[in-house]
């Protein structure tokens, strides 16, 4: 019997492929990691605050920044931006920067089902049975083109 591999931060990317950058291979599943996190004072938060305060379309840029750099869903990024904007009505920019904003961090990976931690509430497995990779590529192209 083959021993389970030891997966740590040094070799994590060998077993878990970022679903935004890779296509699934036959036999892989979609593993979703979810955990609560905090947006604290730093470059990302400063960019978001600057975006919503100095740009007429800054909300859109702020949402995109949070989605890309913090792995927030669109809904979660909107909620955090709304909270920041509401706080700006009563707080200074420095106070907003110091205030932590909780959000749901979500990251998706393609991997073998046996590599996903079992009995861990942060992980969910989605099977990819009977998916033709050609069909998946077509669906991804439609989504990217906004169809």
Integer distance in angstroms from the first to the last C-alpha of the chain? Answer: 48
Report the length, in residues, of the chain: 147
- Total-model pTM: 0.77
How far is CA 77 from each of CA 7, 11, 86, 90, 113, rounded to the nearest angstrom? 30, 30, 14, 21, 29
DSSP secondary structure of 69-103: HH---HHHHHHHHHHHHHHHTTS-HHHHHHS-EEE
Taking 90 as the threshold, does the pLDDT of residue 145 lie above it? no
Domain regions of the chain by residue span: 1-40+105-147, 51-99
| pLDDT attached to residue 128 | 73
| pLDDT attached to residue 143 | 39
pLDDT tens digits along 89-130: 999 999 999 999 999 999 999 999 999 999 999 999 988 765
Percent helix, percent strand, percent coil in the chain, to nearest 5: 45, 20, 35
pLDDT tens digits along 55-89: 777 789 999 999 999 999 999 999 999 999 999 99
pLDDT tens digits along 44-61: 999 999 999 887 777 899
Q: From the centroid of its chain, how far is CA 4? A: 27
| pLDDT attached to residue 106 | 94
């Amino acid at each position: 019997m083959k021993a389970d591999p030891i997966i740590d931060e040094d070799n994590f990317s060998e077993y878990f492929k970022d679903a935004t950058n890779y296509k699934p291979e036959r036999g892989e599943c979609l593993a979703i990691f979810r955990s609560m996190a905090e947006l604290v004072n730093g470059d990302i938060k400063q960019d978001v605050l600057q975006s919503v305060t100095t740009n007429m379309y800054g909300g859109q840029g702020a949402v995109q920044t949070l989605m890309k750099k913090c792995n927030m869903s669109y809904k979660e990024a909107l909620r955090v931006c709304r909270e920041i904007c509401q706080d700006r009505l009563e707080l200074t920019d420095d106070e907003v920067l110091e205030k932590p904003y909780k959000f749901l961090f979500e990251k998706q990976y393609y991997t073998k089902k046996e590599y996903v931690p079992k009995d861990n509430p942060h992980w969910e497995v989605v099977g990819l049975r009977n998916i033709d990779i050609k069909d998946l590529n077509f669906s991804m192209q439609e989504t990217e083109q906004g169809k």
